[in-house]
Amino acid sequence: MNFNIQKALSSFCIAFTICLMLPPLGLAAPTICGTPFDTNATSSDGFCWDATTFGGFNYPVNKHKDFVASENWWGERLQYIEKDGQDKLGKDNPGNHVIGKEELAYTTRQFSNKYELVSDLELNAGTTPAKLGGMFYYKLALFGKPYVTVENDARQLANIVISQDSSDKKTLKAGEVWELGKGYSLTVNQVDAEGNKVWFSLSKNGKELESAIVDADGTVENQTFTATADFGDGKDQLYFITYVDSVFAGAVDSFAVFKYTWLIDRGDTLIINNGDEYQGFEVKETSKDGIVLRNSDSITLNLDKDKKNYFTDAWYFQTSDEGKGSTSSNGYIIYPATDVVIEDKNATESADNNTFTGEDNVIDKVSGSNESGNISPDYRRASPSEIAFADSENNNNNDNNTHPEEKTVEESPVKLPGFGIIPGIIGITVCRALKKKSQSVIFR
């Protein structure tokens, strides 16, 4: 009897602690903030944020030293650049709270990534399958969301559909369909375990695009399948890679194991030209390596600590009240920020259907944005305090690892660190107190 009481109490404690640690559904997570600057202490050319000082930007940690390089840096940057010499933002005029037209420059440059196939199998230029076209491909982040650049050209962007991490694998039996996302699917038509072969097809919206028989005989060249097509401004561009790791026979069915699958959406390419506008910014410069955009209209900052001054769909400037936090009575503090809201997608769907699935799948949504999507393995939104002082000596590994407004990207869910630590501790403390009290009752 005593044992049953203790067991029930332990179960209650575990459930109670977990419930306390879960964030309430629909509530905003902590705001992601950039490094703050005092307008009375910062020169006009000092208002600059990159991936290490603003967590809204895409940040592959293995590329740290290249993202912060003084020259030939990669990734995204946001910088105030005075144009007419009047009403400067900064210590020459600390009370100025107007950013003039084209004075806010957003620059993004493409960066190289090794294919997971190449990285995980430790291939080199001589052992990489020729059909990959090389060991690397290029990404470019646009307003925080990563794209693949077609023909390694920053002016041509394709959405990432799936990129299997090196630790991921997908096991499929004959007849099974793997939904890859954005209408793409891979179907295993037949598995020949004795012959060590698998026949599969790649389709989009039910229409077959590719079909192949791959021999899993231990040769990287033979086990790797690639597909090319004409899209963007390019011909025969690589858009799909998969690797048949093995085939085997079970008690009833035969199976094939797929790894390193990489797919971009060949039917949804974004071509960027000078003069195009995205989220309140106009494209001013384009090149093969990157693009420069500037704000289309002036931005008047409301100097109220509770006011969000949006300059894109999701990013905004937050300021202190005038004279608060500054070394001047006219100065103020300014930094870029964005909000992230965690919602339980399955719980919402279940409520609509009056059912409960028991799953706790989550998606992230950025407040003020028209977009939602997942985050690729090399990208997580993190506060600048977590990343600003990253040790570049720990980032010597070169193995790495959308468009705004109308386009979205499917990636994996955001995990926000730190949720529920304090409630969890409270829960554990309460449980220990209850358990101690129950033991005194049991043995009294």
pLDDT level of residue 70 (50, 70, 90 thresholds): confident
Residue 7 φ then ψ, to 5° = -65, -45
Which segment of 24-28, 39-43, 62-66, 88-92 scores lowest on mean pLDDT? 24-28
Asked whether residue 344 is domain-assigned, the answer is no
Whether 135 and 264 map to the same domain: the answer is yes
**Tokens of residue 224, six digits:** 């790797």
> Of 222, 242, 271, which residue sits at a domain end?
271
| H runs (alpha helix) in 148-234 | 220-223
| Number of domains, the chain | 2
Asked whether residue 61 is domain-assigned, the answer is no
**Tokens of residue 435, six digits:** 């358990």
- Determine the Cα–Cα distance for residues 374 and 161; give it in Å rounded to an integer: 10
Vertex 125: Cα angle to 124 and 129 (nearest 5): 90
On the question of pLDDT at 12 being above 90, the answer is no
pLDDT level of residue 391 (50, 70, 90 thresholds): very low
**DSSP code of residue 143:** T
| Tokens 């575990």 sit on residue | 14
Whether 117 and 265 map to the same domain: the answer is yes
Whether 264 and 118 map to the same domain: the answer is yes
Q: How many CA atoms lie within 13 A of 59 on its CB side?
A: 24
- Determine the Cα–Cα distance for residues 13 and 15; give it in Å rounded to an integer: 6
| Tokens 């009481």 sit on residue | 5
Whether 127 and 249 map to the same domain: the answer is yes
How does pLDDT run across 329-360, given as a tens digit for each residue?
Answer: 999 999 999 998 665 545 444 334 333 233 33
Asked whether residue 243 is domain-assigned, the answer is yes
User: What does pTM read for this prediction?
Assistant: 0.71
pLDDT at residue 71, as a whole number: 81
Q: How many CA atoms lie within 13 A of 224 on its CB side?
A: 21
> Of 250, 271, 292, which residue sits at a domain end?
271
Asked whether residue 76 is domain-assigned, the answer is no
Whether 12 and 160 map to the same domain: the answer is no
On the question of pLDDT at 361 being above 50, the answer is no
Whether 144 and 8 map to the same domain: the answer is no
Spell out a b/e string for 402-426, using b for 16 or more CB atoms within 10 Å of the CB, else e.
bbbeebbbbbbebebeeebeebeee
113 within 8 A of 136, measured Cβ to Cβ = yes
Residues 6+ apart with CB under 8 A from 85: none
* 136: nearest Cα among 394, 398, 412, 411: 398
Residues 6+ apart with CB under 8 A from 431: 9, 12, 13, 14, 16, 17
pLDDT at residue 29, as a whole number: 59
- Determine the Cα–Cα distance for residues 289 and 204; give it in Å rounded to an integer: 31
Which segment of 202-216, 236-250, 372-386 scores lowest on mean pLDDT? 372-386
First to last CA, the chain: 14
Give percent of the chain above pLDDT 70: 70
Mean predicted lDDT score pLDDT of the chain: 78
109 within 8 A of 154, measured Cβ to Cβ = yes
Residues 6+ apart with CB under 8 A from 318: 31, 33, 305, 307, 308, 309, 334, 335, 336, 337
* 109: nearest Cα among 81, 80, 79, 139: 139
CA of 321: how far to CAs of 34, 87, 333, in Å? 17, 19, 8
pLDDT level of residue 443 (50, 70, 90 thresholds): very low
On the question of pLDDT at 376 being above 80, the answer is no
**Exposure of 208 by Cβ count < 10 A (0-12 exposed, 13-18 middle, 19+ buried)?**
exposed
**CA torsion angle for 3, 9, 13, 16 (degrees, to 10)?**
150
Enumerate the β-bridge partners of residue 37. Answer: 334
On the question of pLDDT at 368 being above 70, the answer is no
Mean pLDDT of 217-245: 93
Mean pLDDT of 305-312: 94
Residue 176 belongs to domain spanning: 112-153+156-271
Instruction: Assign 271 to helix, strand or coil.
Output: strand
Give percent of the chain above pLDDT 90: 61
One-letter amino acid identity for 234? G
Whether 254 and 135 map to the same domain: the answer is yes
pLDDT at residue 204, as a whole number: 97
Whether 135 and 251 map to the same domain: the answer is yes
Whether 128 and 258 map to the same domain: the answer is yes
Asked whether residue 168 is domain-assigned, the answer is yes
Mean pLDDT of 31-46: 95
Asked whether residue 372 is domain-assigned, the answer is no
How does pLDDT run across 18-29, given as a tens digit for each residue?
Answer: 344 444 554 555
pLDDT at residue 68, as a whole number: 87
Asked whether residue 206 is domain-assigned, the answer is yes
pLDDT at residue 341, as a whole number: 67
> Of 271, 288, 310, which residue sits at a domain end?
271
pLDDT at residue 14, as a whole number: 41
- Determine the Cα–Cα distance for residues 90 and 327; give it in Å rounded to an integer: 12
Asked whether residue 237 is domain-assigned, the answer is yes
**Exposure of 27 by Cβ count < 10 A (0-12 exposed, 13-18 middle, 19+ buried)?**
exposed
Residue 2 φ then ψ, to 5° = -60, -40
